[in-house]
């Protein structure tokens, strides 16, 4: 319907191995990126309704993109390597507090370096908590990562130097300055987060197609078979933990510095871990685009359930809307998982597939 594959013949391995093998896909993704990076800020500047105020940027797009970035991190571990983790929120917290500490103790350091160090700190912590994965798997591993969550929650609250001895345990982020650019307005914050999300998504997409990603998937599908064909489980499991935690830490630093700006340990509680796991499962295990779809589902649905009656001027009490949100949310999760256990990414793929074969679907 939109476009057909007919006439696309790859005569180079390079072409066949590209992330987007079809030219129209490549054009599409470029258009999407141009729209996100250029058109959206321009629409904001021109004052076109949904883009006019700050709301869309600071309350919808920025948190959504950060959650999607974090979900990519978790998906590498859970979706690609098959190591279930319930500690994603805590690893985000490590990133946030590491970035805070770096900015307090090394104030002259460029912000991007701060973020990378935060990711690195989170990677190290993730590596340590990944060690049990060498001996245990499945539900047992989930419980071990749950322990990581509880331990880190405890540490954020109790260990004084993590919060720079703040009396209340709540800390505030420094101003965001990147090479003289003050990232102040909601649109600028959105652009910063969008850039990070795009780089992480691209990097992750490439990673999972390469040697490392194939090792992870082999471990996920059958670890003994993988070992027999020469994959070292220790190396691949630990790299999965480290890289996943790195991205989670980066996302945590963004969540703290760009989205909340002042936060308490509760911002990275187990609720956050569950939220990320839901995003990954609903979006689709082992899919990068699924992370974005899942994050959009989780973040936009409550806003829509509250917003649509208000938009139609149907009076609805705030608490009734909140309860309605929970109900609709639960029902939709069930429906999604019953009819498409592989998540939104799979629905998206089927849709594309059907459209490409149209009018002769099979």
Residues that bind another protein in the complex, under the rule CB under 8 A: 53-55, 58-59, 63, 157, 167-170, 172-175, 184, 259-267, 269, 271, 303, 306, 311-313, 317-319, 321-323, 326
Angle at 192 between CA 187 and CA 195, to 5 degrees: 120
DSSP string over 117-182 = HHHHHHHHHHHHHHGGGGT--THHHHHHHHHHHHHHHHHHHH-GGGGTT-SSS-EEPPP-EETTEE
* Nearest CB to another protein, comparing residues 91 and 348: 91
Question: Residue 26 Cβ, how far from another protein at the closest point, in Å?
Answer: 34
Question: Residue 135 Cβ, how far from another protein at the closest point, in Å?
Answer: 29
Question: Residue 178 Cβ, how far from another protein at the closest point, in Å?
Answer: 17
d(CA 159, CA 165): 8
* Nearest CB to another protein, comparing residues 31 and 304: 304
Alpha helices in the chain (DSSP H): 13-16, 23-34, 40-46, 49-52, 55, 62-75, 88-105, 111-130, 139-158, 186-209, 211-221, 223-228, 233-254, 270-283, 288-311, 318-339, 344-357
* Nearest CB to another protein, comparing residues 134 and 157: 157
d(CA 44, CA 50): 8
Question: Residue 156 Cβ, how far from another protein at the closest point, in Å?
Answer: 10
Task: Specify the pairing of strand 262-263 against strand 181-182.
Answer: unpaired
Residue whose C-alpha is closest to residue 126's, from 163, 160, 77: 77
248, 95 Cβ separation under 8 angstroms: yes
* Nearest CB to another protein, comparing residues 193 and 240: 193
* Nearest CB to another protein, comparing residues 21 and 323: 323
* Nearest CB to another protein, comparing residues 83 and 149: 149
* Nearest CB to another protein, comparing residues 225 and 300: 300
* Nearest CB to another protein, comparing residues 68 and 81: 68
Alpha helices in 47-87 (DSSP H): 49-52, 55, 62-75
Question: Residue 49 Cβ, how far from another protein at the closest point, in Å?
Answer: 12
Report the SS3 class of residue 222: coil
Question: Residue 167 Cβ, how far from another protein at the closest point, in Å?
Answer: 5
d(CA 265, CA 111): 22
Question: Residue 46 Cβ, how far from another protein at the closest point, in Å?
Answer: 18
Question: Residue 192 Cβ, how far from another protein at the closest point, in Å?
Answer: 16
d(CA 330, CA 328): 6
């Amino acid at each position: 319907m939109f476009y057909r594959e007919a006439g696309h013949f790859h005569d180079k391995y390079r072409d066949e191995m590209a992330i987007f093998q079809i030219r129209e896909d490549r054009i599409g993704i470029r258009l999407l990126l141009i729209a996100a990076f250029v058109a959206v800020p321009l629409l904001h500047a021109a004052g076109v309704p949904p883009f006019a105020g700050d709301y869309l940027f600071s309350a919808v797009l920025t948190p959504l993109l950060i959650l999607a970035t974090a979900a990519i991190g978790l998906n590498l571990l859970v979706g690609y390597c098959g190591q279930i983790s319930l500690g994603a929120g805590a690893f985000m917290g490590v990133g946030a507090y590491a970035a805070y500490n770096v900015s307090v103790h090394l104030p002259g350091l460029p912000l991007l370096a701060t973020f990378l160090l935060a990711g690195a700190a989170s990677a190290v912590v993730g590596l340590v908590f990944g060690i049990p994965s060498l001996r245990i798997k499945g539900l047992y591993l989930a419980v071990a990562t749950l322990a990581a969550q509880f331990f880190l929650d405890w540490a954020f609250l109790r260990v004084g130097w993590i919060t720079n001895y703040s009396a209340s345990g709540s800390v505030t982020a420094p101003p965001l300055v990147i090479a003289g650019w003050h990232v102040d307005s909601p649109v600028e914050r959105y652009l910063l987060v969008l850039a990070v999300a795009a780089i992480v998504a691209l990097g992750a997409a490439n990673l999972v197609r390469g040697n490392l990603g194939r090792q992870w998937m082999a471990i996920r599908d059958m670890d003994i078979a993988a070992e027999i064909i020469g994959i070292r489980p220790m190396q691949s499991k630990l790299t999965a933990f480290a890289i996943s935690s790195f991205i989670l830490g980066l996302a945590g630093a963004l969540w703290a510095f760009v989205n909340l700006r002042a936060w308490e340990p509760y911002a990275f509680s187990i609720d956050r871990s569950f939220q990320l796991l839901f995003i990954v499962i609903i979006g689709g295990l082992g899919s990068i685009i699924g992370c974005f779809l899942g994050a959009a589902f989780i973040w936009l649905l409550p806003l829509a359930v509250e917003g649509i009656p208000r938009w139609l001027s149907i009076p609805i009490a705030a608490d009734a809307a909140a309860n309605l949100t929970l109900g609709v949310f639960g029902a939709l999760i069930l429906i999604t998982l019953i009819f498409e256990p592989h998540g939104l990414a799979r629905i998206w793929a089927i849709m594309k597939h059907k459209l490409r074969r149209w009018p002769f679907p099979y």
